[in-house]
A and B are shown apart, each in its own frame.
Chain A
Amino acid sequence: MVILFGMPLVQVLLFGFAITNEIRDAKVSVVDPTPDAVTHALRNKLFASGFFIESEILNSQEEIAENFRKGESKMVVIFENNFSGKMERGEHPTVQLIADASDPNTASMLVNYANGIISEFNREQRAASGIPLIIAEPRMIYNPALKGVYMFVPGIITILLMLVSAMMTSISIAREKELGTMEVLLVSPLRPFNIIAGKVIPYVLLSFINAISILLLSYYVFGVPVKGSVLLLLAESILFIILALSLGIFISTIANNQQTAMMLSMFAMMLPTILLSGFIFPIENMPEVLQWLSLAMPPRWFIQIIKSIMLKGSGISYFWKETLILTFMAMIFIVASIRKFKIRLA
């Protein structure tokens, strides 16, 4: 009953709040080698718009690369050397806008917003003193062609692994309960661990095969690059599969029949996974409550990890935190489901 009537409300609220394509408070870093009045004015204008918040001041090309790999900013604004000097001399100083296009929609929107602000700044400057234009140079990194497939492949991998792993295990264990076979298994000398392991191992294999086939397909058919280590990618996938499986087992310890297991996995997991993981709707745009909620979504972390490996080519040092969070979550679910697994009926 709670599921029947509560879930639609939750879904509507989620959709209503999460589906906003506007961008607010995107993290933007700045490179400004020779700060002066003009660059300050432009920076103030950018950060006063409400679209961006200032993340860091960077100094070198290496720092920019590092910053993107860590995912610390969505866009970096680079002012040319001797900015106001060039303006006074009547040259056209450039502002480079480098956006992280591993999320192409957000990247192009960020660049558009920034462009708009810069041209408005130009108009104001010209009206005041007739000084010539500042030129904005947008650049997309990681996905220069802004291919949507770059964004959805990591998301699809995540969602499919979640679907196959969590839903299938929870349903298959609930099915045993429904058909009464669990009753016979319980009376046998089998330990809970054996029963669970027996149910889970086939799905680890199945999910792993799934993950590999999606990766192959996206590499050969859609040309999504795998810049980082394939081995690392597979290892992280296994970690995520185990997490999803333990979540599935946990659901099955709560659900007594296949239908409940299905409902729980579909509504309680799948939709929040799609909505709150940052797969389709950027997390930065969500209301703060949902941003907090998204921290608890395992897929959020996994999507970040695979994006880093596939598109940015980063190593484990850039996402050990995410890996740790996933490991921790998996452990919580495993312990919870072993504790909740009933050695008896009812």
Chain B
Amino acid sequence: MATEVSIHCENLTKTYGSVTALAGISFKVSKGEIFGFIGPDGAGKTSLFRILATLLLPDNGTASVEGLDVVNDYKKLRHLLGYMPGRFSLYQDLSVAENLQFFAGIFKADINENYYLIRDIYEQIAPFARRRAGKLSGGMKQKLALCCALIHKPVVLILDEPTTGVDAISRQEFWEMLIRLKQEHITILVATPYMDEAVLCDRVALIQHGEIMAIDTPENITLAYPYQLFRIKSSNTLNTIRLMKEFEGILSAEMFGDTVHVSAEKGRINANAIIKYLSEKGMKVTAVSEADPGIEDCFIHLMKRSGVVSNKIKTP
């Protein structure tokens, strides 16, 4: 049952003039899975989602959702999809309740029948049912948009950056909602630039420059991280990065908030060596510890690796 395929893409490409949005993407998503696309702005997430939502035509390759081709069977497919664009796309002049009724209306769906799907999240915005959608806060808007995308009980839910510009608590509530929807066996495709949301997905694809760098469960992706990682907390983060890049055996040094993550070949160096080195250079080091890699570490690693590859191609 878990292997039943809901979404299947084969070598999808899309270019806008000279800009390549998708450079041959292939993947499968199982039914009832929460599948995350993690990548920075401009990675090609929106183009991919629009193709899957039957809104764009791919230049090459094929894509099918629930066995229906996104190009030829778009009419049938549009009954099955719930799509939430990256930009707030509800009627700003209609109230919260009116928007919900409108979207139920165009899908000929019964609000009462499907209310259980959206109950948890709609109850949070219900006190503002008569407020105009344009006057809601960012988090509220996204919750309402999710309700509107869900009201016809779609088989596949496509969410393009639903939590961008949403406060931390609303983001958390939003994700709790998605995880609950999983029990309804709805396939959920979600794009996000937030690495911390990746661990909440069943599987994630790391996407950059229109290419998928890795597809796996969040655990496996972090397990595949080939290096040893140290987290350094110091008085001057920028100086620490500069100094660590000169340290022998260090492969990378990146800033993560107020800490620095440095990577090295496994077993090559240890925390004490780093403390000693930085102290000699006159830095005040608060703490150095070995750390488990996060999705973000993996992303940066994969991004650099693909960057190195393309550099090699450029300079023969």
Interface residues of chain A, those whose CB is within 8 Å of chain B, are: 179-181, 183-190, 343-346
A to B CB contacts below 8 Å, 9 in the list: A179-B92, A180-B87, A183-B83, A183-B89, A184-B85, A189-B79, A189-B107, A190-B106, A343-B74
What are the 3 tightest A-B residue pairs by CB atom distance, in nearest-first order? Answer: A180-B89, A187-B83, A345-B55
CB closest chain-A residue, reference B94: A181
Contacts of B50 in A (CB 8 A): 345
B152 nearest in chain A by CB position: A188
Q: Which residue of B lies closest to A180 (CB)?
A: B89
Residues of chain A lying within 8 A (CB to CB) of residue B79 = 189
Cα A183 to Cα B88 in complex, Å, equals 11
Give chain B nearest CB distance to A174 CB in angstroms.
15
Across the two chains, which residue of chain A brings its CB closest to B82? A187
Q: Which residues of B contact A344 (CB under 8 A)?
A: 54-57, 74
- 13 further contact pairs, Cβ within 8 A, besides A183-B83, A344-B54: A179-B89, A180-B88, A181-B91, A183-B85, A183-B89, A184-B83, A184-B85, A184-B148, A187-B53, A187-B78, A188-B103, A188-B106, A345-B50
- Known contacts A343-B74, A345-B50; is A186 also within 8 Å of B89 by CB? no
Q: How far is A302 from B108 in the complex, measured between Cα atoms in Å?
A: 41
Chain B, residues 81-115, CB within 8 Å of chain A (1/0): the string is: 10101011111100000000001001110000000
Cα distance A184–B151 in the bound complex, in angstroms: 13
**Identity of the chain A residue whose Cβ is nearest the Cβ of B85 in the assembled complex:** A183
Name the residue on A nearest B149 (C-beta): A184
Tell me which of B83, B103, B106 has the highest count of chain A C-beta atoms within 10 A of its own C-beta.
B106
Contacts of B74 in A (CB 8 A): 343-344
Given contacts A344-B55, A344-B56, A345-B55, contact A189 B75 (CB under 8 A): yes
CB-CB under 8 A from B91, the residues of chain A are: 179, 181
Q: How far is the CB of A57 from chain B (nearest CB, A)?
A: 64
Query: CB-CB < 8 A to B57: which residues of A?
Result: 344
Q: Determine if B89 and A184 form an interchain contact, defined as CB atoms under 8 angstroms apart.
A: yes
**Interface residue count on the B side (C-beta < 8 Å):** 24
Query: Which residue of B53, B92, B106 is within 8 Å of A185 (Cβ)?
Result: B106
- In the complex, the chain B residue whose C-beta lies closest to that of A190 is B106
- Residues of chain A with a CB closer than 8 A to B87's CB: 180
B75 & A183 in contact (Cβ 8 Å cutoff): no
- When distances are taken between beta carbons in the complex, the residues of chain A under 8 Å from B75 are 189
A179 contact set on B, CB distance < 8 A: 89, 91-92
With a CB–CB cut-off of 8 A, which chain A residues contact B81? Answer: 187
How many angstroms from the CA of A344 to the CA of B57 in the assembled complex?
Answer: 8
Question: Looking at chain B's contact residues, is the secondary structure mostly helix, strand, loop, or mixed?
Answer: loop
Q: How far is the CB of A182 from chain B (nearest CB, A)?
A: 8
**B106 x A346 contact (CB < 8 A):** no
* CB pair B89 A345 closer than 8 Å: no
Q: How far is the CA of A334 from the CA of B94 in the complex (A)?
A: 29
Residues of A close to B148: CB separation below 8 A: 184
Residues of A within 8 A of B89 (CB): 179-181, 183-184
* Minimum C-beta distance from A331 to chain B (A): 26
State how many angstroms separate the Cβ of A171 from the closest Cβ of chain B.
14
Judge whether B54 and A187 touch: CB under 8 Å.
Answer: yes
Find out whether the CB atom of A187 lies under 8 angstroms from the CB atom of B55: yes
Residues of chain B with a CB closer than 8 A to A183's CB: 55, 83, 85, 89
Kindly provide the distance from the CB of B293 to the nearest chain A CB, expressed in whole angstroms.
37
B49-67 interface with A by 8 A CB criterion: 50, 53-57
Q: Which residues of B contact A346 (CB under 8 A)?
A: 56
Kindly list chain B residues whose C-beta atoms are within 8 Å of the C-beta of A181.
Answer: 89-91
Q: Determine how close the nearest CB of chain B comes to the CB of A4; give it in whole angstroms.
A: 23
A188 contact from B56, B88, B92, B107, Cβ within 8 A: B107
Per-residue interface assignment for chain B, residues 143 to 167, with 1 indicating a CB less than 8 Å from any chain A CB and 0 otherwise:
0000010000000000000000000
By the criterion CB–CB under 8 Å, are B90 and A188 in contact? Answer: no
Q: What residues of chain B lie closer than 8 Å to A184, measured between beta carbons?
A: 83, 85, 89-90, 103, 148
Select the residue from B74, B83, B88, B89 with max chain A CB neighbours within 10 A. Answer: B89
Question: Which residues of the partner chain B approach A343 to less than 8 Å between Cβ atoms?
Answer: 74
* A254 vs B74: C-alpha distance when bound (angstroms): 23
Which one of B53, B78, B85, B108 lies within 8 Å of A180 (CB-CB)? B85
For A187, what are the chain B residues with a Cβ–Cβ distance below 8 Å? 53-55, 78, 81, 83
Which residues of chain B come closer than 8 Å to A190, judged between CB atoms?
Answer: 106
Q: What is the chain A residue whose CB lies nearest that of B71?
A: A344
Nearest residue in A to B79 (C-beta to C-beta)? A189
- Chain A residue with Cβ nearest B107: A188
Residue of B nearest to A198 (CB): B106
A185 and B74 CA atoms in complex are apart in Å by 14
The answer for the CA separation of A203 and B85 in the assembled complex, in Å, is 29
* CA distance in complex: A179, B91 (Å): 8
A180 to B92, alpha carbons, bound, how many Å?
11
Question: Nearest B residue to A187 by beta-carbon distance?
Answer: B83
**How far, in angstroms, from A179 to B83 measured CA to CA in the complex?**
15
C-alpha spacing A219/B189, complex, angstroms? 63
Closest beta carbon of chain A to B190's beta carbon, Å: 16
Q: How far is the CA of A187 from the CA of B53 in the complex (A)?
A: 7
| Minimum distance in angstroms from A115 CB to a CB of chain B | 61
Q: Is the CB of B55 within 8 A of A186?
A: yes
| Closest beta carbon of chain B to A241's beta carbon, Å | 25
A293 and B94 CA atoms in complex are apart in Å by 43
Residue of A nearest to B154 (CB): A187
A167 to B85, CA, bound (A): 28
Give bound CA distance, A22 to B56, whole Å. 56
Q: How far is the CA of A183 from the CA of B87 in the complex (A)?
A: 10
Find out whether the CB atom of B55 lies under 8 angstroms from the CB atom of A189: no
For residue A50, give the distance in angstroms from its CB to the closest CB of chain B: 57
Q: For B92, give the chain A residue with the smallest CB separation.
A: A179
- Residue in A closest to B80 when the chains form the complex, CB atoms: A189
Contacts of B103 in A (CB 8 A): 184, 188
Cβ contacts under 8 Å, A345 to chain B: 50, 55-56
- Bound complex: CA of A345 vs CA of B53, how far in Å? 10
Please measure, in the bound complex, the distance between the C-alpha atom of A192 and the C-alpha atom of B290, giving whole angstroms.
Answer: 59
